[in-house]
Each structure stands twice: as C-alpha cells, then as structure tokens.
Amino acid sequence: MKGVANEARLYSGKLEHLQGIYVPQYHGHFVGHTDEGPTSCIVLDYCGEECDLLFLALPMDFRRAFASAMVAIHDAGVRHFDIRNRNVLNNKGFPVVIDFEEAEDHECERTMEIVENIPAPFDSQFGCDELHQLCIDLRLWKPGMFQYIWSSQPAAEYLCRPYSLAETAPDSWSYEDAVREAYRVIDEHLKEFYPEDYNRWCEMVDKMPPPSRSCSRVCNEMPPSASALSASDDPLSLESPSRGHYMYNR
C-alpha cells in the first residue's frame, strides 16, 4: 500500500502537469478493506499496451519521445527507479510512463542537454545516472570509447585527432606505426558508427602525407599537416549540435 500511496502522491503532485502527456490521467487513490485485509488502488486512464520490444528495437521516433518524457519527469523532480519495457506504454505511437511505486523525489543534476548521435559522455560528466543509462539503452549516443592498441580511449577526445591519439601509444611503438594504427582504428570506428561522415574523413586522409617523424613521442602538438583535424575548426567534430542532431531541451 505504501507504493500505491507514493504513486498517488506523485501523480497528484509533481507529475500533475504531465498527466495526459507523458503519464496517464490520474483519477484518484482509493483505500478500503477486502477479505485479504486493507487494500488500495489508483485509477488511471487507459493509455495503451506495454512495449513488447527491447528499447533498442523500438522505432527511433518513439525512443526520442521516450527520452523527452523522462527528461520532463526528471525536470518535474521525480526519479523513476524502475525504467523497463513493462513500465512504458505505447499510446498510438506515443510513450506513456507508468508505475511510480518505487519513484523518489529528485533534483536532477545533469549538466548537459541530450544531443543525439554524439559519443556518449561519461556518467560523471553527464551528471544523472538514470538518464545517462537510458540514453545508452535507447542507443541515442554513439559509443563513448573505442579501442586503440591495448587501451580504450574516449571518442570525443581522440576520434578526430589521430596524431594526438598516437601520442598515447606504448613506448615500444615507433611514432610511424602509432600514427598508422591511429588512422586505422579511427577509420574503422567512423565507418561503422558515423557512415554519414566517413567519405569526408577519407577525403581529409587523402590530403595528408604519411607520417615521417621518427622520434619518441614527447608532446601532444599536432603537425601542421593535421591542422584540419584540430578541435577548433574540425569539419568532423562529433560534439557540435549544429550538425542537426536532435536535442532534448530541459
């Protein structure tokens, strides 16, 4: 009964303005007695069937709308704590979130908007683990890390900076081999996860001379030939929302 009472409190309080949009219309909380003892229930509008697909198998428009719903719920001051298929209804193509028995009052500490198709930020950078995990489950982001030699590297930092990536190679690797491997792994990652940018990447690579510096890696400075890949004017920047990625406003 405590869970039902908690759900009723949230529907009639912090979630009231979201009724009929992202959560069902709430009609009341009723308490009584049955043969089994004290009993309680809440009455809600019918809002469709449970999602019977994994989140990643849902249509992209539905996933986007679901992310927007959860952002609105967090902005209302509620953390769900039980985000799963059975608690998301498909109401004629629109998501409706239910089952707030385990939900708690929450002050969302996320530090950034949700921007689609960028490398996944670290949980600590994003600031809210529930929404962070949801975006990963919904496949709204690209992989945040990629493999280079024997270590995983952050995509947002190195995916457009092959020479800087080469600086992270083990000391046993020559500079030339490290740069070639950096280009190879970046090429594979972009081809798989950023096909819309892959041709531009190939054009940029064709204009660059092969690595010729044969010395130990002592700095992170990129050679002039790689200036097109710098963070300031990189045409393949994976962090800029100006490329038309969908944004989920607070």
Poorest-pLDDT segment among 14-28, 51-65, 179-193, 225-239: 225-239
- The whole-number average pLDDT for the span 36-53 is 92
Report if residue 247 sits inside a domain.
Answer: no
Among residues 24, 14, 25, which one has the least CA distance to residue 107? 14
pTM above the 0.85 mark?
Answer: no
Are residues 219 and 194 both part of a single domain? yes
Quick check: is 170 in a domain?
yes
The pLDDT confidence band at residue 9, using thresholds 50, 70 and 90, is very high
Last residue of a domain, one of 141, 174, 208: 141
Domain total of the chain = 2
Q: Is 62 helix (H, G, I), strand (E, B) or coil?
A: helix
**pLDDT computed for residue 237 by the predictor:** 52
The predicted structure's pLDDT at residue 198: 84
Q: Is 223 a member of any domain?
A: yes
Tokens 């952002």 correspond to 71
Residue 213 — very low, low, confident or very high, per pLDDT cuts 50/70/90? low
The domain boundary, picked from 119, 141, 163, lies at 141
238 falls within a domain:
no
Provide the pLDDT for residue 17. Answer: 98
Apex 115 CA angle, 144 and 250, nearest 5: 130
Would you say residue 101 lies in a domain? yes
Cβ 75 vs Cβ 114: under 8 Å = no
Q: Which domain holds residue 68?
A: 2-141
b/e 167-192 (16+ beta carbons within 10 angstroms → b): bbbeeebebeebbebbbebbeebbee
Q: By the 8 A CB rule, do 51 and 39 touch?
A: no
Please check whether residues 28 and 123 belong to one and the same domain. yes
Computed over every residue of the chain, the mean pLDDT equals 85
One domain for residues 36 and 99: yes
CB atoms within 10 A of CB 90: 19
Domain boundary among 120, 141, 162: 141
